[in-house]
Structures are given as C-alpha cells and as structure tokens.
Structure 1
Amino acid sequence: MGGALCTSAGAVATTAARVGHRAAAFSSINVTFERPATASAPAFQLAGTLNIPSTSESEGSNSTRFPGVVFFSGTGPQDRDGKQGPLDLGTWELLDSLASKGNVVLRWDDRGAGESGLPTGVQPAEMGFHDIMGDGRAALNYLKSRGEVDPERLFLIGHSEGGLIAALLSTEFEDSVAGLVIMSSLGRNLFDVTLMQVEAGMAQLPEEARATNLKLQVEIQTAVREGREPDWNVIGEEMAPVVRETWEKVLPIRKWWREHFLLDTDSIYSAVKCPALVTQGQADFQTHPDLDARRLAAAIVQGGKCIDMSLRVFSGLDHLFKPTGGRPSTLEMYSEDRRVDSSFIKTLADWIASRSVSSSEELRTCASV
C-alpha cells in the first residue's frame, strides 16, 4: 500500500519560553475543569494550561475566535508538557509550535499527574479505558466552552492510546471537530499489540523459554478478555504458582485491559468522518507502520465517511517522533536528551493550518493509503 500526504507550505514558529529569541506569540493561563461523576466514581478536578494566541497575531481583534487544539496522551499518567516521571516525551515542543501558529491549545495533566486529581475512593484496579476516555471528553468540552475558541474548528491530536480516544471523540463531537491527528496509535486491538511487544522483549531468550512465556501471556490476556480465571496449569502443574503470581501482578490493569480487548478498532476508525492525518515513526517498536498506521488509515478510508485522509510515515523516527540516529529504537532511548523532529512538527502544523479555514472554503482532499 502506498501513502499520500496533503499539506500546505508554511513555517513553524517557536516561542521565547523555549528558545529565548523572540516574543511569545501566545499567552498562557492555568485552568481547572470538572471531570463529571459517573455511576462508579465521584466528580473530580483536572488541571492544565490554556495557550491563547496574542491579538497581534490575529489582526488585533479582541473578538477573534481561534481554532482549538487538545492533546490526548498515551498510556500512563503524563503531565501537561509530556513529562512522565523523569522522562520528557516532548509533547510541549509540538504544542508550543501549534500555539504559536494561532491556535488555542489546551494541554492538561492526566488524572493523578501534575495538578490533576483522582476520584475519591477509586482504586487503580477500578479504572478502565472508558474512564480515561471520559477524562478526554471533559477536556474537549472545556476547550469547546471557551470564548476564545471557534466551537466548529476543534482539532484533536492523540498519541498512542490517545489516538484511539481522539478517534472515538471525533465521531462523538463530529459537528465541532475540524480535524483529527493520530500519532503512532493502535491499528490493531491492544490484545495483539501487547503480544507483539512481549514477543519482541523476549527476543534474546532461548526458544523454549519464549514459547512457554508466550503461552502464559496468551492465557492471561484471554482470561482477562473473557472475564474468567486463567488455567492455572496452562504451562504445567508445577508452574501453577507462577501463573497465580502473574495473575496477581496484572490486577491493577485488568479492567483497563478488558475494556481495550473488547474494542472493535476497525469499526472505530471506519466511523471517522472529519479530515484525518495519520502519522507514524518508521523506527517505532511499540506500534507498527504496516500493522497499525496503514491498517487504521485503510479503515478510515474504507469506512467511506472521511474524504480527506492523509498518511505519513517518518523515516528514522521512533514512537515519540524523535530521531534514533540510525539505531534500533529501545525504551532506554526515551531517557536520552533528544528533541521531537522538526519536520514532523511542521507537517502537523501545516496540516492543521490548511484545515483551519472557514467552512465555506473548499478543502483539498486526499484519500490514498
């Protein structure tokens, strides 16, 4: 399958806050918004930062409404700038650039990260995929409510698991969403992606050990998906204690896993109607250019509802869209001081700019996978 990209030419601006060589093109205010209660959890507060373009960048009109951008992060709690513990995932680099291009950007702390709270009395094992998606829905509703934002020009950017959430919300908010950007997301079900990652992590083990571990992994995941206990003797009666220990270790993620394992990813992407840009790093070892990016891009096109789909696979970039320097990508590399690739940031900024036109203007279309 071939790929095609529809973009318009344009430079990406950066801000003084990061590079120190020119006045910032946006102001920033700290915000909080409510994550509504559900049947199983009370309401709580999420926190973030709203970047608002300077009026000098918008013909000097205080009444100008800008396109709105909201970012949905990948798995694991991250703060509003893409910090996860000691790791700098580089989210701030992309969002700073988009704010400098005349977009209102909402960057927010995931639940339990930064200044965002957690629902009182809810244990980690009680949190699932749909809870995380509900957090994203609250963020999107907040951005849409802001007076600075054009409620019909919202852009959703999702990285990894966040790409799946962004796709679902783009359908739910179809009258407001002007564009969807999917970054290194899952084209397959998480069940299959997890098995791929486990297999890759066992590459140096003897063949017999790999086969035994994979058999255990498949049984644990299948038991979670089917809502049952695993076969304790799946790898031999003498290994039953190992199976029980493994089962206990996955307790905190069982709900999250099961909700993921029951998703129909092809149907989720085939329902997308808005313009969509699918991006992937060729060197990514967590998701795959063919098995994920091209598959989900094909699902969007084959759904027949989206007439403006672009796919771009970036050579030499990893799951974080950072250059690997020709090396195989590894988790250890995430701790290195590397920057998000500037050509990737430019591609996203140009794509959003070209689709930020008013609804009366004609969009170029691209639907080749």
Structure 2
Amino acid sequence: MKSLIITILLTAFSAMNVFSQNISGVWHGIATNPDNKEITFVFLFERNDEVFNTTMAVPNFDVSGVKPKATTFENGILSIDGSNVGMKYEGKLNETTQQIEGEYTEGSTKLILNLIKGNPKIAAPKRPQVPEKPYPYFEEEVVFENSKANIVLAGTFTRPVGSEKFPVVILISGSGRHDRDGSIPTHKPFLVLSDYLTRNNIAVLRYDDRGFGESTGDFSKATTADFAQDVLSAVRYLKSRKDIDAKHIGLIGHSEGGIIAPLAANQTSDISFIVTLAATGIPGSKVSVLQSKSLRPFPVPDEVAFEDNVRQAIKIASSSKEMSEKRKELTAHNKSYLAPILKSLGAKDENISKFINNETKSTLKPWSIYFYNYNPAVEFEQLSIPVLSLNGSKDTQVNSTINQNAIRNALIKANNKNYKIVELESLNHLFQECTTGNIDEYKEIEQTMSPIALKEISDWILEIVR
C-alpha cells in the first residue's frame, strides 16, 4: 500500500511538472492601466521542440498578430522578450491556482498581468444603429470600372422602393483603406448613414476603396487625386441607371473624402451638391503639423522645436528633389530630432531605428507627398453648387474652427450663393456624441453616428433637391 501511494504521488508530481514546462495554447489576462481602464491581453504559445513561439493580441486596441522576439518557460518562469515590438512580460506559474502571475512592461508603463488558460470572453459591443435585414428598401451589389486606372470598384447601391427616380449620393471614405461600410473597429458608419438616407428617400452608392475588399487596384500607390477619379467613375456609373435622378447626384465625403469631393466636383458638371463631414480647408502640410501635436502618442521636451522639425520633414518630403535625395535627407533629419526623444522614453536603439525607417517611408509615400502639397481651399473656391459642411466641436483629428473658417472663406471667395457651415456640439471626428473626442474613445461609444448629424444631412439634401 505504501508503495502504491508513493507511485501515485510521483505520477501526480510528474504530470504537474510536465504541465508547468509546457504552456502551449491560448492564455489571457486583464490588466488595469494608470487611467483605471481594463486592457485584455491574449497570448498564443506554440511549442516547437524546446522553443516557444508567441503571438500576442490586445483586443481593446484591435491589435493582433504581434510576434515577440523570444519566449522561454523554464522552472515555472515565463519570460517574453518583445524588445522588437517595445514590450516584455515576466511571470511565474502558481501551481495552486494554475495562473501565471506577472508583470507586463511597455516603455515606462508597468502593469500587473496574471494569465489564465483559455480564450477571454469578450461580449460583442452593442451597436443599435446597425440595420438588420430585411431592409425596407431595394439593395443591389454592383461593380463599375475606372478605365483610366484599369481597376474595378465593387460596392452596394440602395434606393427607396418605388417607380420614381430618386436623388442619389456617393459616399467617399476618409484616409486609409476602408470597405463600403466605412468600417472601423466595431462601427460601420457608412452603413448606418446609407440606411438612414435610403429610408428618407435618398438613394446611396457606397463602395470598397481601390485595392481593398472586393475592389481591385493598388491602394498604396494612390493619391487623393486618384481617389477623385474613382468618384468620377462612380458618377458615370450612376448616370447609366434608370432609377436615379441624374440631375441630382451628390457627394458626401468624410475626412479626406471631404476634400476629395470638391476635387471631383470641379472636374464634371454632373455633381449637383456636396456634403463634407469633418473636412479640412487648409493645406495638407498644415493639417499634418497640427495632427503631429494633437495625435502624437508620446511627450516631447520642447513643443516649438518639435513643430519646427515636423515642418522641416514635410518641406523635404514635398520638395521637387529626386526621391533618393529626399530619402537620404529625410532619414538624417528624422534621426537628428526623433532619436533623442525616443531614447529619453526608454526605447532601444533597434526599435528607434525601425521607427525612424517606418516614419521616413510613410512620409515619402505618394499619398503623403500629394497631401502635403494639396490645398483644398483652392477647390472650394471654384464651387458654385450647394455645399453643406459639418464638423464636430470635439473633433481631435480635424480642428473644427480652423478648418470651417478656411472653407467658409473659400466659398465666399467663390461667390457661392448656397452653402451652410455648421459646427455640431459635442461630436467627435466620427460624429458620435462623445466626452473627450479622443480616438481611443470611438469604440467605447455605443452610438455609431449622432441622430443630430444624420438628420442635418438628410434634411439639407431633401431641401436642395425638392
């Protein structure tokens, strides 16, 4: 009997020891940041012989596929070296609770993070404005061609039920790749806007950006001017339909879409009105300087010097010099002012180098160079068609006062007789009713788009086309 008990104990200890040395699978934990907000971390550990490979995700920030440099798990101690991505984790397996108790570090931030085996339970956020099928209107999947760029754009056309011809709008997305619903983490603002307008007797065409979703083309090589050509292709497609009023084709552009709209409208006589949502009215170079301050994720010791350096970087990128010369000059400039800042924040040399290379590459993209040199006021100054310009008072990406003043002055210069410029109180860049207007607040808000904004857009269009 004594021998049997010893055998059972040894077997149990052996099994526990094997478990403690093999953590393969999904683990997750919830940490509380200095702002008292909970952040969920998910780790997938895959064992290959004696080596662990780790993939990390942070659902709160829609971050996934992060692969730290190295992972070890020996004698119950888990160590994740994420120096390549600016993080590390150190933890110890508690044999009693079967939790890994440890600390997550990112820059100067340290968070208590205990991990348990299995996937986290993440409740789907409530999005009451997202419509559910069947819709009380006609919906059709469509494709149309931009023959100039040799691409095909795929989208969705909706219109009210009836035999009459309806006024129609084309939805134009903001910067970055977007699908036809304008999807951002947990929200589909273009789907909500399209549904609202269609229910109010306005037909809508929305489409996937080139090179994204079901649309063909290379998004990475396109500029604002190229996106304007995509809009004109959408206009030509709508004119071929028999169920829309070709005399009342309008454009609704959000953010960058708001400066694409006038650029497209000035190249055709087929657009009868424009609605801009969170559009800029000042040169892209100035927008970029403002955003470098309002959206920057790290502090700097000298704001004035930082702003001057950003201006210089933009000046280099937007110059007429050869690309190789610009790249060399911009890399040297970025190193001179960014490296000391990042070093002071505790970043390692390899991460600083990677950040500077990425920053240089991004600044020299075709889209960026065009944007720095593009002044939308020049296009607004040529508009004689009706214009509605809406901005939110708490927009942290596009300053409402600065940009609406510029748009207003441009339309006055154009001698435009029919424009309306409105700042909507307490709305952010997505036109959600908000508290701070900060980007990280967007997905926390249940509302996708304020009913106030939706009604303002719909009522104005119906007044224009009646």
With normalisation by structure 1, the TM-score equals 0.79
Aligned residue among 428, 435, 439 for 1:318:
428
CA displacement, residues 170-210 of structure 1 (integer Å, 9 cap, x when unaligned):
22223x322110111011111111111111234862433x4
Task: Determine the structure 2 residue equivalent to 1:289.
Answer: 400
Q: Rate the CA distance shift 1:291–1:231 in 2: closer, same or farther, 3 A.
A: same
Taking a change above 3 Å as real, the CA distance of residues 149 and 202 of structure 1, as seen in their structure-2 partners, is: closer
Match of 2:295 in 1: 201
Residue in structure 1 matched with residue 35 of structure 2 by the alignment: none
2:107 aligns to what?
none
Q: More displaced, 136-145 or 282-291?
A: 136-145
User: Structure 1 residues 244, 69: CA separation in 2 closer, same or farther (over 3 Å shift)?
Assistant: same
SS of the residue 1:355 aligns to: helix
Q: Deviations over 1:73-114 (max 9, x none)?
A: 100111111113x34251211111111111221011111222
1:138, CA displacement in angstroms?
Answer: 1.3
Match of 2:161 in 1: 54
Structure 2 unmatched runs, 5+: 1-127, 341-348
Structure 1 residue 351: deviation in Å?
0.4
Q: Could you tell me which amino acid in structure 1 is paired with residue 271 of structure 2?
A: V
CA separation in 2, counterparts of 1:246 and 1:277?
40
> Counterpart in 2 of 1:18?
131
2:455 partner SS:
helix
Report if aligned partners of 2:294, 2:397 keep a CA contact under 8 Å in 1: no
Matches within 5 A, 1:337-348: 337-348=446-457
For CA contacts below 8 A with separation 6 or more, give which structure has more relative contact order.
Answer: 1
Q: 2 CA distance for matches of 1:354 and 1:330?
A: 33
Identify the match of residue 45 of structure 1 among 152, 161, 167.
Answer: 152
In 2: Cα distance, 1:127 partner to 1:189 partner:
19
Mapped partners of 1:297, 1:291: distance in 2: 10
Q: What's the CA shift for 1:238?
A: 11
CA gap 1:233/1:76 in 2 versus in 1, 3 angstroms: closer
**Matched residues in 2 for 1:338 and 1:109: separation?**
23
TM-score w.r.t. length of structure 2: 0.63
What do you get for the CA RMSD once the two structures are aligned?
Answer: 2.8
Percentage of identical aligned residues:
23
In the other structure, the counterpart of 1:116 is 215
Are residue 191 (structure 1) and residue 266 (structure 2) matched? Answer: no
Q: Hey, what's the Cα distance between the residues in 1 that align with 2:369 and 2:166?
A: 39
Structure (1 or 2) with the larger CA radius of gyration: 2
1:71 to partner: Cα distance: 0.7
- CA distance in structure 1 between the partners assigned to 2:330 and 2:338 by the alignment: 13
SS at the partner of 1:77?
Answer: coil
Aligned pairs for 1:1-369 (under 5 A) are 18=131, 24-38=135-149, 43-55=150-162, 62=163, 64-84=164-184, 86-119=185-218, 124=220, 126-174=221-269, 176-202=270-296, 205-208=299-302, 210-211=303-304, 213-228=306-321, 229=326, 230=329, 233-234=332-333, 236=336, 246=356, 249-252=359-362, 254-304=365-415, 306-324=416-434, 327-336=435-444, 337-357=446-466
Cα distance between partner residues in 1 of 2:199 and 2:250: 15
SS state of the match for residue 29, structure 1? strand
**Distance apart, 1:302 and its partner CA:** 2.0
Tell me the secondary structure at the aligned position of residue 398 of structure 2.
coil
Contact 2:285 2:373 in 1 (8 A): no
8 Å contact 1:216–1:243 — kept in the other structure?
no
Unaligned runs of 5+ in 1: 1-14, 56-61, 358-369
Bigger mean CA deviation after superposition, 278-287 or 217-226: 217-226
Counterpart residue type for residue 250 of structure 2: F
Determine the C-alpha separation between the residues in 2 that align with 1:157 and 1:257.
23
Q: Normalized per residue, which structure has more strand?
A: 2
Say how many residue pairs are matched: 320
2: distance between equivalents of 1:159 and 1:199? 22
Query: 2:406 and 2:211 mapped to 1: Cα distance?
Result: 33
Moved more, 253-262 or 147-156: 253-262
Shift of 1:213: 4.1
The Cα offsets for residues 258-294 of structure 1, whole Å up to 9 and x where unpaired, read as: 2122223221111011011110000001111111122
SS across alignment from 1:113? coil
How far did residue 248 of structure 1 move?
5.0
